[in-house]
Structure 1
């Protein structure tokens, strides 16, 4: 794919339980497949086998050092130049999961999402519009407990340990300081899908007018 103009890069950051995934899915729904592409920080985790377990045998995935930020940056630049990126999909260390190879094609709009995208300076410098998804801590924790229990089968004590010792400290150190400088802050305490869909529709209309003149 050859691009006549530089793609418009949107950075979407938010803590665990902020509703970032639903926001992304709703946002992508407003565009044609060849108009937007997504590159996710989750697909750049360093394999757990290369990390050190804590005393309780849990790994801390909520540190910038767990991300292969150099490859993440390289792939974003590849997409910005019109190239294609092939990447193994992260499976949350589920040994039974079938590993998918993602084919990420360039597009006029590139969405970069993840917890540390604003902390990684070289990546942040490539972002044209920074969007911060925020949820109050008690709301985010409730969502996290529900997700990790239902979807990933994690025991609640482990979820709470990670929340208090990994998730919240990382959020406060590596993401929250960048919140005031973001172009848009979206409060997502509601569990109403209609609320987020309305917000994404408004943002997508502005982008379509700016990038596609429609």
Structure 2
């Protein structure tokens, strides 16, 4: 079965590591706001509103709004009309994320936090709107709750019901969940050491996903019988 670069486990792990990294990065260095986890932003927004901290609550509203806009645009990129213009929308989304994160690394913490959190949330929404599968399995790169649930279900079926396919899926989801957790740890450590410039490390991780497209295309050219395609 052909495996597209964007649905490979390598690609998924790189994305989830970066997502965990960015949530830790923005939470520590950008006013306690999550870059990707809009569930966390909604909860913190509600807490701030309940305490009468309107300004703090609005800091969570802006990335949530940017995320909604990003998902809408991602859906438009999947339309046949737009695909004729943007041949590789997934790669375009990855390039946009890299550019945003490189730019963010130059923005000092004295600048208002929405200047950073809004564009990061927007490009994260493009990502989740364009690809949400690893191999044939559904997953979410920017959050871990759903992935953790699927990991538990796969482990239950694999080891208690002796389902061999579910055991394989357990490994996939384990890598995705572990990647997100590892990214959060790495992001927290790097942000405390490097400050706002830690965003460049996240950009480097995402740049590796672009390299994967090139590597897979070269491999497909050398071994056409394997039918490996890059999205």
State TM-score, norm by structure 1. 0.30
Which structure has greater strand proportion? 1
Bigger Rg over Cα: 2
Which structure has greater helix proportion? 2
State TM-score, norm by structure 2. 0.29
